[in-house]
Amino acid sequence: AALVRHRFRRSVRRHCILRDTRGPAEATRPRTRRCTAPETRRRSAMMDENECHDPNRMESSAPSPASATGAKPKKKKRRQSDVERTYQKKTQHEHVLLRPDTYVGSTQLVTDEMWILDPESGNIVRRSITYVPALLKIFDEILVNAADNKQRDPTQDTIRVDISREDNRISVMNNGSGIPVVKHREHDMYVPTMIFGHLLTGSNFDDDERKTTGGRNGYGAKLANIFSTKFTIETVDANEGKKFKQTFTENMLQPGSPRITAVKEGTKEYTKIEFEPDLARFHMTSLDNDTYRLLCRRVYDIAACSQMYGGRKLKVYLNGTRLAIKTFEDYVKLHDGLEPPVAFGRIEDRWEVGVSYSDGQPRQLSYVNAIATTKGGHHVNAIVDQVVARLQKTLKKKNKGQDVKPHLIKQHLSIYVNCLIENPAFDSQTKETLVTRKANFGSTPTLPEAMLKRIEKSEIVQTILSYAAFKQQKELNRKGGAKRA
């Protein structure tokens, strides 16, 4: 049955058809309406200048355009006002708040298995938690920016993340190059105002520069601003001898005045973003345990991933405590339930790769430019393919000359990857899967022969062989009784 409720009905006849197709149960069942309170509250401020919201005008009959152009008037006419009510144009700011999926992922609570920090043991554990993907995303945008800055300025040696659950306040500071505290002549505003307070702005639009940073879309930090009730930028530009500070409130709709003050010569540059997520939009009342532990894990991720970057050693602090993660390999081992790598290697200064077995489900833990690619992608496949190719040969010898199918091998592998990819492309704004093809990685992750040898001699081989034997036996048992291949 078509269950669309039309506001805009083209004729009484069609209206009746719509009603008729609804069953009696359907027609009487009340429907829960989504709470729209936050939208309503902010509505006046968000209104598109082009939109008509005058209720009197909306309800009044409009002159018939048909009669004006000479066409025959019909008996039951749509009213002109229906057209404006039905067909709308949104500003992009409105659209981000109205359809967050496209930009930051879901603002609904989601229950899913995720890696989180276990504060007691200090390990990373996989738990079924309830969290809001959009909140993780905006935190991530700010966090990855701080890690990206380490690549722009190798002298950066500190990232400080403070998450104050009582005040619902998060701050991320890095002491790399600040942002120029100068006015942008074309847009007539300070550069920090522009790149944190206006959509589709940034310094990452030039693809001729092959960068291995995480941010590239021109949405990132602005989305954090839009989904916050309060968002403050603070940066020092030593070149200009100035410190810049500006606070936005009400989902970026109310920019405060920038405050610019002189700093002494020799003041170290830094950038600090402090924000208060708009919990109402995330259907939350506080930064709860699950969310907090998830955000903490991302800080650990950053500490682990950025150890590969050149320049001064980067110290990452979480709520004042320095995280003691030395290498990516150590970090993999910190994960409860991941098999520790049977082989681990660093390739071309841009790849850290570990390989292990798994319990029958292919597993991966991977990062591209410090972004957690939770669904993998071509970087993981590039490693898997090499391991599978090698193991196929090994297994064939040990399996009485019979081939073992690649998918059986893949099922029993755990792959750990931390890599830097040039101008990475992801499946979507939520960046869970890398879609950049191998040829465009900007580096070639060829596994060293020594690593492949260690893999060949590991437990992985026996694990796969016993499963292959089980499958062959099951296949034999089923022959004849099977309905279809």
Q: How far apart are CA 379 and CA 416, in angstroms?
A: 10
Q: How far apart are CA 152 and CA 454, in angstroms?
A: 36
At closest approach, how far in Å is the CB of 176 from its own copies?
10
At closest approach, how far in Å is the CB of 286 from its own copies?
20
Residue with tokens 């004006």: 68
Q: To 5 degrees, how large is the angle CA 81–CA 84–CA 85? A: 85
- How many residues are there in the chain? 485
Nearer to its own copies, 163 or 244 (CB): 244
Alpha helices in 376-459 (DSSP H): 378-398, 406-411, 449-456
Nearer to its own copies, 168 or 174 (CB): 174
Nearer to its own copies, 212 or 366 (CB): 212
At closest approach, how far in Å is the CB of 378 from its own copies?
8
Q: 3-class SS at 354?
A: strand
Q: How far apart are CA 166 and CA 156, in angstroms?
A: 30
Nearer to its own copies, 168 or 445 (CB): 445
At closest approach, how far in Å is the CB of 2 from its own copies?
5
- Cα-Cα-Cα-Cα dihedral of 181, 187, 193, 194, to 10°? -110
Nearer to its own copies, 158 or 213 (CB): 213
Nearer to its own copies, 251 or 369 (CB): 369
At closest approach, how far in Å is the CB of 213 from its own copies?
7
At closest approach, how far in Å is the CB of 162 from its own copies?
26
Say if CB 354 and CB 455 are below 8 A apart: no
At closest approach, how far in Å is the CB of 174 from its own copies?
14
At closest approach, how far in Å is the CB of 166 from its own copies?
28
Say if CB 434 and CB 425 are below 8 A apart: yes
C-alpha closest to that of 1 among 28, 32, 27: 27
Q: To 5 degrees, how large is the angle CA 316–CA 221–CA 166? A: 60
Residue with tokens 């603070």: 234
Nearer to its own copies, 167 or 188 (CB): 188
Long-range contacts of 385-389 (CB under 8 A, 24+ apart): 386/446, 386/447, 386/452, 387/355, 387/413, 387/415, 387/447, 387/452, 387/455, 388/413
Q: Using the 8-state DSSP alphabet, how is residue 440 labeled?
A: G
At closest approach, how far in Å is the CB of 171 from its own copies?
23
At closest approach, how far in Å is the CB of 465 from its own copies?
11
In order of 1, 209, 263, 355, 374, the CA distances from 432 in angstroms are 36, 24, 41, 20, 5
136 CB-side CA count, 13 A: 28
Nearer to its own copies, 207 or 330 (CB): 207
Q: How far apart are CA 80 and CA 58, in angstroms?
A: 9
Nearer to its own copies, 84 or 250 (CB): 84
Nearer to its own copies, 173 or 182 (CB): 182
In order of 60, 132, 240, 305, 480, the CA distances from 332 in angstroms are 66, 25, 43, 11, 45
- Cα-Cα-Cα-Cα dihedral of 54, 58, 62, 64, to 10°? 130
Nearer to its own copies, 77 or 398 (CB): 77
Nearer to its own copies, 219 or 300 (CB): 219
At closest approach, how far in Å is the CB of 274 from its own copies?
22
At closest approach, how far in Å is the CB of 84 from its own copies?
6
